[in-house]
Amino acid sequence: QVLFTEQLFRFKVYESETLKLRIYLSGRIDLGIVEGTTTVPIDHKSESESWFYSANSNQFKIYALMCGSPKLIVNRFGEYWNCSTG
């Protein structure tokens, strides 16, 4: 079941009255679905972006944290095509 699409988020991760400093994390989660009682974030990545992401990605960890989920799904799409090889 789809819960949301293109969900924006922003949350405060640090605040210091002494330093008069606040740090926020913000972003946009592509898609959120419900599995049982858990909201699972889904991130769409094209094949051209596949070099960029890993299971240790801060982006993915933040998305999972925002949804209170122990996992995240990556929806890979597209295919790299090299026109010079045939």
pLDDT given for residue 1 in this prediction:
93
**Is 45 exposed, middle or buried (CB count within 10 Å of its CB: 0-12, 13-18, 19+)?**
middle
Longest dimension (CA), the chain: 64
pLDDT given for residue 59 in this prediction:
86
Q: Give residue-wise pLDDT tens across range 11-33.
A: 999 999 999 999 999 999 999 99
In the chain, which stretches have pLDDT less than 70?
48-56, 79-86
